[in-house]
Amino acid sequence: MTTLLVIAKEPRPGRVKTRLTPPFTPEQAAVLAEAALKDTLDAVARTPARRRVLVLDGAPGPWLPPGFEVVPQCAGGLDERLAEAFAGCAGPALLVGMDTPQVTPELLTVDWADCDAYFGPAEDGGFWALGLAEPDPARLRGVPMSTPHTGAVQRARLDGLRVRDLPLLRDVDTAYDAALVAEAAPGGHFAAALACLAPAVER
């Protein structure tokens, strides 16, 4: 079975979702980040998996459900941290971030028959999911992160593998993104948190 990895930051004001500020305050941005993380972890918790691992920058809080191993992120750039997350896996692994609270167990339930890799593109040019049947950190190291071309470069690193593409999803980076993602997943923690905060911002 698949090891499911979630790479995340502890949702502390000033450290997460900084592009939401403004219109949100750092404290409000952290509330939204925590809600997004809750939704992501909930989806992972409801997905069949060999292991569920939170690769965390910071300390776990009451938002962490049972059933997860917590490992610290290594030092270095995001490419190094993603590579190290895969390095800790034996057998198939699928990694997601905390920026797509609309993710579902159905999206995360992958079949490795006749497949070596999964790739989930993001609308901002990055990627929201990456899966490897045989985790190879070298396929991530050196990929430029947080650019409009990150996804294309990472997808090219899978050359020679049998790749299945997952649906295109939107990351929550800006307030505009947040509104669209909340519409896509109206029943989640993220949508509820945004509904509570948006009127305060509008005032």
In a domain, 102, yes or no: yes
Range of the domain at 164: 3-197
CB 131 within 8 A of CB 94: yes
188 CB-side CA count, 13 A: 27
Structural domains in the chain (count): 1
Residue 27: which CATH number? 3.90.550.10
Query: CA Rg, the chain, in Å?
Result: 16
Q: Please tell me the distance from the alpha carbon of residue 14 to that of residue 103, in angstroms, as a whole number.
A: 25
State pTM to two decimals. Answer: 0.95
Give, for all 203 residues of the chain, the pLDDT tens digit.
Answer: 899 999 999 999 999 999 999 999 999 999 999 999 999 999 999 999 999 999 999 999 999 999 999 999 999 999 999 999 999 999 999 999 999 999 999 999 999 999 999 999 999 999 999 999 999 999 999 999 999 999 999 999 999 999 999 999 999 999 999 999 999 999 999 999 999 997 665 54
* Both structure tokens of 145: 């992160």
Question: Which of 203, 191, 129, 173 is closest to 20 using CA atoms?
Answer: 173
In a domain, 153, yes or no: yes
Cα angle at 36 between 169 and 184, to 5 degrees? 45
In a domain, 203, yes or no: no
Q: Please tell me the distance from the alpha carbon of residue 79 to that of residue 133, in angstroms, as a whole number.
A: 19
* Both structure tokens of 70: 């917590």
